[in-house]
Amino acid sequence: MNIIVCIKQVPDAKDVRLDPKTNTMAREGVESIMNPFDRHALEEAVRLKEQHGGTVTVVSMGPPQAEAVLRDAVACGADEAVLVSDRAFAGADTWATTYTLGKAIEKVAPFDLILCGKQAIDGDTAQVGPGLAKRLNIPYVSYARKITGLVNGVLSLQRLMDDGYDEVEIPLPGLLTVVKEINEPRVPSLKGKMKAKKLSIKKFTATDIGADADSIGLPGSTTQVVKVFAPVFKGERAMLEGTVDEQVEQLLNKLEPYL
């Protein structure tokens, strides 16, 4: 089974600060790490490879320094690494990112499964996994918490829900986004680290993947970030008293103006 894992380099959440002047995330001097959910996706891919054979290829879209997370992924069991990097990709929102990743993955190799973390801890959109599946026209399941079987090219799994889990099946090729409950990621191995040091990472530019210039980076993005700010708590609190019926009555009265 050939698996592609999408990974993103993000600022370490232990060290997140907002620039008080610009209200944007201060990235200078902040250590970068592999997005924690992507680490679980990678671990699951390596486990599937150990069980069923095949290869694990990690793909990251980002600046040249994102190579560090790709090498980290190889140290933890990935076989090949692809960096999708070009100045023209800068400023991409999830719409442009899924387009770019989709184009890149079509170039990488035939695959049976794509694994993504459920979301990145910096943007927190949770849109790239599902968006990518749509771009590649393959089925997807979000929030996978356990893979339970693989029979005749159909993967069965549990999808985490607020109140339990669903048992679902997905025909391959397909895409899953995973939650952290799915596994406990391993630490890098010595042989993995040595391989990671030597491995040459494939690099794809906009031209290499045949991307349409209007669909990538800022021009290809349908959303623009106007302002980033930490929300200020402004709500009011009220204790409703009386019998349950009276409290419901009072609550409805309060909600009515907003309906």
Interface residues with other proteins (CB under 8 A) are 186-194, 197
- Cβ closest to other proteins, residue 21 vs residue 191: 191
In the complex, what is the shortest distance from the CB of residue 257 to other proteins, in angstroms, rounded to a whole number? 51
Q: Which residue, 13 or 109, has its beta carbon nearer to other proteins? A: 13
Maximum separation of any 2 CA atoms in the chain, in Å: 71
CB atoms within 10 A of CB 13: 12
Contact 52, 62 (CB under 8 A): no
> Strand pairing of 32-34 and 9-11?
antiparallel
Of 65 and 189, CB closest to other proteins: 189
In angstroms, give the least distance from the CB of 43 to other proteins: 11
The CB-of-100 to other proteins minimum distance in angstroms stands at: 32
Is 105 in contact with 74 (CB distance < 8 Å)?
no
Residue number, 13 or 194, with CB nearest to other proteins: 194
Can you say how many angstroms the Cα of residue 60 is from the centroid of all Cα atoms in its chain? 10
How far apart, in whole angstroms, are the C-alpha atoms of residue 188 and residue 185?
9
Cβ 123 to other proteins shortest distance, Å: 26
